[in-house]
Amino acid sequence: MDGTAATPPTGHRRRTVLRAALAGAATAGAAGLALPGTARAADAAGAATGAGTGPTIYIASDSTAQTYDPYYAPQAGWGEVLGQFFSDAVTVANHAIGGRSSRSFIAEGRLQAILDVIQPGDYLFVQFGHNDATISRPERYTPPADYKEFLRNDYIGGARARGAVPVVVTPVSRRDFNRATGKFNVSFPEYVAKAVEVASEEGVPLVDLSASSRAYLDEVGIEEARSVFLHVPPGVYPNRPFGTIDETHFQHYGAVRIARLIALDVARLGVPLARHVRNTAPPRHRPDRPTAAPVAALVSHEGARLTWDEVPGAELYRIQRRRRDVPDDEYTLATTSPIPLADIGGLAEDTAYDLRVIAVNGRGQSAPSPRLRLTTRVADLRYDFGPADSPVAEGFVGVSPETLYTPERGYGFTDATGLITRDRGPGTDDLGRDFVAYFDGRYEFRTDTPNGTYAVTAHVGDAAGSSRSGFVLEGGDRGQVIGSPNAITRQTFTLVDVRDGQLSVTVYGQTGHLNGLVITRVG
């Protein structure tokens, strides 16, 4: 929840950056795309939009609402785009800043900076909970009971004392779901409950963003939710050469969707601000059909990178697939993307598929594009991690903590100190039943490979628990894979460039699970 992100470029700037990135990404990988300089978060105190003659909405919140410097594209917070859903008479002053809780926002004087300028008839939107729940960070952690009283005494009381209207906003949902049911879980439920309680007790307006965002995510589904959150492919945005996996923060598309939910809730509140809500209706027309089939590059054992022509009026693209070797197989969703590029995965190895793209906006979806015929490759290397005496999945090479790298072997751990293993026994397949792990530590696995560009699929999880594993491939941090409890998650990392004849995979994180690796050269 730290404040390290930015306003995504829009219009001509965004299209230019995207076209330039696509031109090099398909063949050159992610190398050389990082920009020099030091990242800086936008100045929250100065992040005001609009110059209206009506009320000002002041936002006190964290990185889910923050306004970001363009360096961090495509990351965005709902606060930086909220103004587009209100009339020009309304000004939005976004004071949200990453890494803050209800307590630390006060301790740093940030609430006082708002209270010093807020006027009668203005509004104070308050959304906290994400960082309040971070018990491992004492400078942030705020117990739910204390959080409730900070809302009551400091935020609600402070706004009322100045004639302003406090609006309590419950914590927005994360991409956290029950894999068995496909439904999203309540994020930070104790803090949601306390926010609802204090709003009721104090008789102040409540925007139950926890409920509305969760209902929205349930509607679009687990896969499409990737486009809401900060799932960014490598080699596209200059500041993210290795891509991003983030289940908490939003890319611009998602920030706009969340801001619209807030505006819709405000429109139902009995406050004067409700009269200023605008632009929540869907567009008049659906986007046109994409005129050409998508183009594939970097084809791997389970997916490929697809690009296609941008469709005017499209807010999102859905990529569908069907197997050519299955009679009467129907198209199903492969993935979605808010830009005309997507890394698809989850395909069967050495299998022929038809792929097509559909353009989508709030009015509906277009007719599908012409189809692309694609056949996935055969993987080059497969490793199954676990105890030395556990079953090894068919076609895989077994790796245990005793498997240390030597030039003669050509693969293995560089140092297995601290590694643990578990075998959960029958009940899942041979790849998923066992794993190696290192809690709150890191370890490195290496395998000799020819120089080139690779796709690496990591299998991560625990059939009897939860998992959280981060991955660094060839020196590039690809983010953390948060597995669903009692399930195995598969995550493919693309554009992994090997230049020294050896592919390095470092695993870190809260649990550091690793069940399997599948590696395919794609360029």
pTM for the complete prediction? Answer: 0.87
The span from the CA of 129 to the CA of 503, in Å, is 40
The span from the CA of 62 to the CA of 110, in Å, is 11
The region of weakest confidence among 13-17, 296-300, 310-314, 359-363 is: 13-17
pLDDT, mean of residues 258-285 = 97
Per-residue burial over 419-457, b if 16 or more Cβ lie within 10 Å, else e, is bebbebeeebebbbbbbbbbeeeebbbbbebeeebbbbb
Q: What is the pLDDT of residues 368-390, one digit of tens each?
A: 999 999 999 999 999 999 999 99
CA 220, distance to chain mean position in Å, is: 15
Region for residue 230 given its phi and psi (left: phi exceeds 0; alpha: psi -120 to 50; beta: otherwise): beta
Question: For residue 209, which amino acid is it?
Answer: L
CB 337 within 8 A of CB 362: no
Q: Residue 342 has which token pair?
A: 């997507």
How would DSSP label each residue in 301-326? SS-EEEE----TT-SEEEEEEEETTS
Q: Residue 155 has which token pair?
A: 């935020």
pLDDT at position 52: 74
Q: What percent of the chain has pLDDT over 70?
A: 90
Q: What band does 71 get if pLDDT is binned at 50, 70 and 90?
A: very high
Give the neighbor-by-neighbor strand order of the sheet with 304-307.
Answer: 295-297, 304-307, 341-344
Mean pLDDT of the chain: 91
> CA 97, 136, 512: angle at the middle one, nearest 5?
105
Q: What is the pLDDT of residues 121-152, one digit of tens each?
A: 999 999 999 999 999 899 999 999 999 999 99
The position carrying tokens 């120089």 is 451
More confident residue, 242 or 23: 242
CA dihedral defined by 222, 493, 11, 216, rounded to 10 degrees? Answer: 10
Residue 24 pLDDT > 70, yes or no?
no
Residue 43 pLDDT > 70, yes or no?
no
pLDDT at position 47: 58
pLDDT, mean of residues 9-20 = 34
Residue 40 pLDDT > 60, yes or no?
no
How far from 267 is each of 51, 173, 374, 383, CA to CA, in Å? 21, 21, 47, 54
> CA 450, 452, 454: angle at the middle one, nearest 5?
100
Residue 235 pLDDT > 90, yes or no?
yes
pLDDT at position 53: 85
Q: Residue 106 has which token pair?
A: 């006060």
CB atoms within 10 A of CB 290: 23
pLDDT, mean of residues 29-51 = 41
pLDDT at position 51: 65
pLDDT, mean of residues 22-32 = 35
Q: What is the pLDDT of residues 270-280, one digit of tens each?
A: 999 999 999 99
> CA 20, 245, 454: angle at the middle one, nearest 5?
65
How far from 6 is each of 66, 128, 176, CA to CA, in Å? 8, 20, 23
pLDDT, mean of residues 73-93 = 97
Q: Three-state DSSP class for 462?
A: coil
Q: What percent of the chain has pLDDT over 90?
A: 87
pLDDT, mean of residues 309-321 = 98
CA 93, distance to chain mean position in Å, is: 25
The position carrying tokens 């997507």 is 342
Question: For residue 76, which amino acid is it?
Answer: A
CB 283 within 8 A of CB 313: yes
The span from the CA of 111 to the CA of 117, in Å, is 10
Residue 15 pLDDT > 70, yes or no?
no
256 closest CA partner among 215, 216, 292: 216
Q: CB-based burial of residue 114 (10 Å sphere; 0-12 exposed, 13-18 middle, 19+ buried)? A: buried
Q: What is the 3-state secondary structure (H, E, C) of 150-213?
A: HHHHHHHHHHHHCCCEEEEECCCCCCCECCCCCCECCCCHHHHHHHHHHHHHHCCCEECHHHHH
pLDDT at position 207: 98
The span from the CA of 387 to the CA of 435, in Å, is 7
Q: What band does 167 get if pLDDT is binned at 50, 70 and 90?
A: very high
The span from the CA of 212 to the CA of 11, in Å, is 29
pLDDT at position 484: 80
H or E stretch including 106?
helix 102-107
Q: Three-state DSSP class for 261?
A: helix
pLDDT, mean of residues 242-250 = 94
pLDDT, mean of residues 403-421 = 97
CB 445 within 8 A of CB 399: yes
Q: What band does 179 get if pLDDT is binned at 50, 70 and 90?
A: confident
User: What angle do helix axes 209-220 and 252-267 make, rounded to 10 degrees?
Assistant: 130
